[in-house]
Structure 1
């Protein structure tokens, strides 16, 4: 998730907590007007104002992004401890309605159930129990409890609820840890699977011997280029055949032929620019697609390939003079790829018929 997305999520959580504070304040004033809150109006107003100020300060931290500088950007433990402090202050000033407001302890702890660590959650539960017990003992010591048996029962009930929350929090956190580990394991499996899929795609698209694209992948790429080309753009297409390749295989063996194919692939890849497409079309035949090309550039590129290939020297192998023949054509908008390949093939046939080791263009006059 991005920082903005995380911050929006934290603001939503804060809004939920602020809404809980608003509900508590409504109940506080309701308890005051019904006579269950034993404090003057001034104390109630000041306490309510301090609660609002504390929430405004937290909102300012979230809104300004200062919370992102903290170890815990959610400020969960801070909010929980602050909420428990205000709740304890409220409980200390209630009389018969004290038991009804104990539920807010549970709400505050549930706010941190999924985000606090085990130790932090235990600290918060201990703070709740000892705070409420201290209030009860203080009032009991000063004989201020109207019903000591009810107060003792409230302490026992709170203790049982806190123990249950602590055990449930451990269960939830252990479950989240297991789910996190499974998610990481699943992510690792997905990454492995994606890597294998990429390898399979490479195997499907690549000629194993030369490392170039194979015929199927070239036809897919060329068709896509034709479908997306602009009206004023022309592509160059050339079929290249290595001369006397069968004789090399017959005299020197197929291993030597494979070495010649690999040498051409290396030379041709070095001569082409980024964006040009080179593929093994089949056997000793290769195909080149030059996007955004013109006749002069296509001819220059094929001649450069031809000359570079004639200068190749194979290590540990003497196969005589290497050469190639090329048939060139141009692709325009609306052109059919099969027709263009047929034109290039006819030009290639003419280059071989005229003596090989040359480049012939489909736009040239055949009778010239």
Structure 2
């Protein structure tokens, strides 16, 4: 780790939330530095009193450093981000009032800073908080203007101060109202984003998962097979099996389709519990299922199917009156360089042989 990275880590910590808060603090510091630079120019031009300007610079610097310490200690203080934002905004407004009082003929420019402070808080505060902060700014600047015109009416003519205050109040109230509309828009965008994310997740599930059994569907299974072909171009140690629930049509005819759906769900749960890590079971169509067994020799694949057959036979399906379920399976080993479509075709023929031989058995192609 370089010395610069160590320094950044020391100053900013490693917590993402803390770093984001410090970024906002750094942005306000940039504004402070720019204002201090302009204030020093005013002093150089004789437009501001040096002692008053130096006092404001010291006050602003100490305040900025105090807020840095406050943010760094927030892990223990547990202050909410909006509480810190309000505190920083009030501090900045006090600096703006002070700057207005000492800026002489340039004091009207300080009113812009008051508006900027409110705008800066629009993104961190709720509309009501922004409105209250705007009221504080209006009251604070109004009190500053009243005191100045009362004690120095020559430099601060009452009529000029009154008109200036009116413009400022209008600007700040308008900004506060716009903040409310901005907050509503932001909330609506967040809600729409959340709804879009949920819709995309639903679409993804519908595109990849069978709704009834929660297994991979046929479309996604084809993508899995293509990926497996690319992963094992030579086709070594990969088996494929086609499974068919025995006498499933009789179940539907005698007990109804609702019980048939229960059989499919229970079969999927029992079969999935028998798989190894990396095996993929998909609903291929109706009561037929396709099982991919990567990195499995025929003996290992057969052991998985036999374990699956035991679990399926042991399960009890509600509404089936104690009838046991079994399945027939055709198992094929993928040959070197063979497309999975050909291996599935051979597994299908083996499945047909299993059915012809009396069902409830596994036939190796």
Q: What secondary structure does 2:344 align onto? A: helix
Q: Quickly say closer, same or farther: Cα 1:231–1:29, change in 2 above 3 A.
A: farther
Distance 2:324 2:23 in 1: 70
Runs of 4+, deviation exceeding 6 Å: 230-233
How far the C-alpha of 1:58 sits from its partner, in A, is 3.5
How far the C-alpha of 1:286 sits from its partner, in A, is 0.9
Q: Quickly say closer, same or farther: Cα 1:111–1:211, change in 2 above 3 A.
A: closer
Distance 1:126 1:247 in 2: 83
Question: Aligned runs of 1:5-84 on 2, under 5 Å?
Answer: 5-31=20-46, 44=50, 46-61=51-66, 63-64=68-69, 65-66=71-72, 71-73=83-85, 75-84=88-97
How far the C-alpha of 1:230 sits from its partner, in A, is 8.5
RMSD of equivalent CA atoms: 3.4
Number of the residue aligned with 2:283: 280
How far the C-alpha of 1:23 sits from its partner, in A, is 0.6
Q: What secondary structure does 1:293 align onto? A: coil
| Residue pair 1:105, 1:128 contacting (<8 A) in 2 also | no
Number of the residue aligned with 2:313: 310
Number of the residue aligned with 1:344: 347
Number of the residue aligned with 1:237: 240
Q: What secondary structure does 1:237 align onto? A: strand
How far the C-alpha of 1:259 sits from its partner, in A, is 4.3
In the TM superposition, what whole-angstrom CA distance separates every residue of 1:37-75 from its partner, at most 9, and x where no partner exists?
Answer: 6x7xxxx3x545434433432443455544856622471
Choose 1 or 2 for highest CA Rg.
1
Q: What secondary structure does 1:101 align onto? A: helix
Counterpart among 120, 129, 132 of residue 142 in structure 2: 129
Question: Aligned runs of 1:1-368 on 2, under 5 Å?
Answer: 2-31=17-46, 44=50, 46-61=51-66, 63-64=68-69, 65-66=71-72, 71-73=83-85, 75-88=88-101, 90=102, 98=104, 100-114=105-119, 115=121, 117-139=130-152, 145=154, 151-152=156-157, 155-228=158-231, 234-249=237-252, 254=257, 257-273=260-276, 275-317=278-320, 322-331=325-334, 335-362=338-365
- 5+ unaligned residues in a row in structure 2: which ranges? 1-15, 122-128
Count of residues paired in the alignment:
334
